[in-house]
């Protein structure tokens, strides 16, 4: 008996790691001081532009979106999703990324699949200026089915203390801007899969009127990253708060950035809800309340802006090709009120 007979193929793992090295190295910048494969990754940040730097860290996964990727046999987007999600999570506190690490667990080591997953990491890390400096790839037979896998991402970012967004600057009367999502992003897939695949009987290659693509393609649209659009506004202090609309939808995320005593009133008719969400709602007879609690409904980021800065912020976003919608306002109270 050897390790391979027990279910772990070290040679396949070595092959996967050799492919990963080049993809990761393509994301490096001068702050990266180590190669892929060392026990601990080393990073020396350039702190010259910061007066009082604060590190902001986050970790996340992509949930059961992975099941759609497995069904469609498309694996080069979920890695991108994970990086974009993590970048957006620290962005809402005003931070920009320093570096990223990944964790990939598989039922059976498949170097081709691992390479595709990491190519998504690499593409996103290059786009967001966030070096992929290390990670872990684990073959875990018995824990995962042979064709299953799971992902986790770990990000560290930085922001000057006087530019940290905590929500404490939010005031009654502030305007809520919504930035469009590219689809479900990385949340709500358990409900979406139940409705689309189990109840409606659709397949990943099915075409539905109004989508303009297959169900699989619509569900695998990459998570949007809002760093490029928001960074200039953060630098100028034009943003009072931001809420990344992830698990929990609007009620679960917007209150996280509001001070005690303040609420958000959101006009759901202020934007056109994309066809995919309507398909899920109608196909599963899902209530509107449940939809807005589970999905982003076409708004991936909510930005809180002072009324006097609204025109400036909208103009800045427009110049960068970013669409925005005035979707509501901050008022006295608590929670989120959808109308």
- Nearest to residue 220, comparing CAs of 259, 193, 253? 193
* pLDDT of residue 2 exceeding 80: no
Predicted confidence at residue 3, as pLDDT, reads 72
What are the residue boundaries of the structural domains of the chain, listed by start? 3-163, 175-338
The residue written with tokens 């090295």 in the block is 21
How far is it, in rounded angstroms, from Cα 33 to Cα 323?
A: 39
Of the chain, the end-to-end C-alpha distance in Å amounts to 64
Mean pLDDT, to the nearest integer, of 249-259?
Answer: 96
pTM above 0.85, yes or no: yes
Predicted confidence at residue 15, as pLDDT, reads 86
Mean pLDDT, to the nearest integer, of 227-253?
Answer: 96
Mean pLDDT, to the nearest integer, of 146-155?
Answer: 96
Judged by DSSP in three states, 69 sits in helix
Name 207's bridge partners.
Answer: 214
Predicted confidence at residue 254, as pLDDT, reads 97
How far is it, in rounded angstroms, from Cα 245 to Cα 212?
A: 25
Mean pLDDT, to the nearest integer, of 128-152?
Answer: 95
Q: What CATH code is assigned to 175-338? A: 3.90.650.10
- What is the DSSP track for 98-134? EEEEEEEEESS--HHHHHHHHHHHHHHHHHTT--EEE
Predicted confidence at residue 19, as pLDDT, reads 86
Give domain 3-163's CATH architecture: 2-Layer Sandwich (3.30)
- Strand 325-332 and strand 175-180: the pairing is antiparallel
Mean pLDDT, to the nearest integer, of 140-145?
Answer: 93
Query: Residue 58 corresponds to which tokens in the numbers above?
Result: 């986050």
How many other C-beta atoms lie within 10 A of the C-beta of residue 33? Answer: 12
Query: Residue 229 corresponds to which tokens in the numbers above?
Result: 């659009």
Name 210's bridge partners.
Answer: none
Predicted confidence at residue 190, as pLDDT, reads 97
How far is it, in rounded angstroms, from Cα 300 to Cα 307?
A: 21
Which of 15-19, 30-34, 253-257 shows the lowest mean pLDDT across its residues? 15-19
- Nearest to residue 243, comparing CAs of 251, 231, 235, 234? 251
* pLDDT of residue 61 exceeding 80: yes
CB neighbours of 245 closer than 8 A, spacing ≥ 6? 181, 185, 253, 254, 296, 299, 300, 301, 302
Give strand ranges (E) for 183-297: 241-244, 262-266
State the average pLDDT for the chain: 95
Tens-digit pLDDT profile for residues 160-179: 999 999 999 999 999 999 99
CB neighbours of 22 closer than 8 A, spacing ≥ 6? none
pLDDT band at 9 (very low <50, low <70, confident <90, very high): confident
- Nearest to residue 139, comparing CAs of 289, 280, 3, 303? 3
How many other C-beta atoms lie within 10 A of the C-beta of residue 259? Answer: 14
How far is it, in rounded angstroms, from Cα 184 to Cα 220?
A: 8
How many other C-beta atoms lie within 10 A of the C-beta of residue 79? Answer: 29
How far is it, in rounded angstroms, from Cα 181 to Cα 184?
A: 7
How many other C-beta atoms lie within 10 A of the C-beta of residue 82? Answer: 29
Mean pLDDT, to the nearest integer, of 205-210?
Answer: 93
In the chain, % of residues over pLDDT 70? 100
CA count, 13 A, side-chain hemisphere, 225: 24
pLDDT band at 11 (very low <50, low <70, confident <90, very high): confident
């Amino acid at each position: 008996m050897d390790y391979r007979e027990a279910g772990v193929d070290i040679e396949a793992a070595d092959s996967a790691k050799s492919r990963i090295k080049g993809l990761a190295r393509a994301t490096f910048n001068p702050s990266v001081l180590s190669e892929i494969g060392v026990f601990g990754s080393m990073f020396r940040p350039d702190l010259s532009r910061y007066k009082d730097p604060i590190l902001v860290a986050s970790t996340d996964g992509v949930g059961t979106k992975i099941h759609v990727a497995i069904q469609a046999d498309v694996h080069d987007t979920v890695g991108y999703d994970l990086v974009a999600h993590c970048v957006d999570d620290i962005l809402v506190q005003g931070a920009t990324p320093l570096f990223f690490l990944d964790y990939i667990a598989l039922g059976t080591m498949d170097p081709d699949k691992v390479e595709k997953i990491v190519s998504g990491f690499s593409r996103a890390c290059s786009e967001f200026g966030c070096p992929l400096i290390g990670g872990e790839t684990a073959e875990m037979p018995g824990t995962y089915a042979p064709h299953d896998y799971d992902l986790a991402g770990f990000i560290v970012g930085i922001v000057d203390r006087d530019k940290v967004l905590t929500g404490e600057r939010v005031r009654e009367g502030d305007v809520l801007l919504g930035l469009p999502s590219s689809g479900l992003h990385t949340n709500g897939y358990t409900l979406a899969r139940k409705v689309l695949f189990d109840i409606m009987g659709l397949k990943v290659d099915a075409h539905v009127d109004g989508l303009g693509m297959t169900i699989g393609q619509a569900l695998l649209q990459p998570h949007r990253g809002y760093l490029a659009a928001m960074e200039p506004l953060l630098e100028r202090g034009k943003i009072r708060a931001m809420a990344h609309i992830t698990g929990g939808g609007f009620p679960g995320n917007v209150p996280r950035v509001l001070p005690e005593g303040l609420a958000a009133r959101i006009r759901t008719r202020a934007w056109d809800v994309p066809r995919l969400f309507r398909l899920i709602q109608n196909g599963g007879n899902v209530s509107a309340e449940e939809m807005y609690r589970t999905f982003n409904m076409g708004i991936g980021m909510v930005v809180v802006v002072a009324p006097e800065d609204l025109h400036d912020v909208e103009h800045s976003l427009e110049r960068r090709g970013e669409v925005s919608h005035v979707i509501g306002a901050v008022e006295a109270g608590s929670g989120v009120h959808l109308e």
